Amino acid sequence: MRLILLGPPGAGKGTQADFLIQEFKLAHLSTGDMLRAAIKAETPLGLAAKEVMDRGDLVSDEIVCGIVSERLDAPDASNGFVLDGFPRTIPQAETLDGMLAEKDMNLDAVVEIRADADILVDRIVKRAQESGGARSDDNEEVLRKRLDVYEESTAPLVAYYREKGLLKTVDGMQSIDEVKAAIRSALGA
Ligand code: AMP
């Protein structure tokens, strides 16, 4: 199974991705995790990405498409994957279509976790407090910026994938278990 998880920051994409990879034995392809690993390793890519991420902006389409393309070729991705945090723009989605076509892969579904922006601010501020500030982009100001960026650049993907007949929307304001059940049923599993 090849899936995309779509939803604003704090909607629970990471939690639901963990569930999906266990349930269906999929590879977890999180561009946020890949970029944070590059920052930790202090690679040139990481150094370039850090400042952009700390402001809550998007890293360039070229950089993220490059890292995803490499990751799609890794052996674990051949059994299926969950893309978490990618694509985030229409050009990224178009590039992904091209990459998948080239690799003879199809997407099975795009799961949109729909969530209310104000409640998300509370959730993420809590996450930042609980993790002792482990993520430098988890503060209220940057979060509001990330939500604006989501609305402007990423939300148009909902229509993009609806037109392709791939979109499955679930209500992300329920409990974690209820969201899991809604995703399972949306996938017909
Ligand atoms: P995430 O962990 O998915 O919330 O991503 C954290 C940050 O990494 C985002 O706020 C962006 O700065 C950057 N990022 C992650 N994925 C992408 C992407 N597909 N396109 C552009 N920037 C991204």
* Chain mean pLDDT for the chain: 92
What's the farthest any 2 CA atoms get from each other in the chain?
A: 44
Identity (one letter) of the amino acid at 18?
D
Tell me, what's the pLDDT at 120? 81
- In this prediction, residue 132 carries a pLDDT of 67
Dist CA 48 CA 65 (whole Å): 15
Residues of the chain with pLDDT under 70: 132-138
The answer to whether 28 and 82 have CB atoms below 8 angstroms apart is yes
Out of 15, 35, 52, 90, give the residue to mutate to test ligand 1, the one with the largest number of ligand atoms within 8 Å of its CB.
35
Q: What is the pLDDT of residue 125?
A: 75
> What's the confidence (pLDDT) of residue 130?
79
Identify whether the C-beta of residue 10 lies closer than 8 Å to the C-beta of residue 120.
yes
- At 153, give phi and psi (nearest 5°): -100, -30
Taking CB atoms and a 6 Å cutoff, what residues make up the pocket around ligand 1?
Answer: 9, 31-32, 35, 52-53, 56-59, 64, 85-88, 92, 137, 146
Q: How many domains does the chain have?
A: 1
Report the separation in Å between the CA atom of 88 and the middle of ligand 1, taken as the mean of its atom positions: 8
The dihedrals phi and psi of 111, each to the nearest 5 degrees, come to: -95, 115
Angle made by CA atoms 94, 33, 155, in degrees to the nearest 5: 40
pLDDT at site 133: 60
pTM as predicted? 0.91
Instruction: Kindly report the CATH number assigned to the domain that includes residue 42.
Output: 3.40.50.300
Is residue 172 a contact partner of residue 7, using CB atoms and an 8 Å limit?
yes
Q: What is the pLDDT of residue 141?
A: 86
Question: Which residues constitute the domain of residue 48?
Answer: 2-186
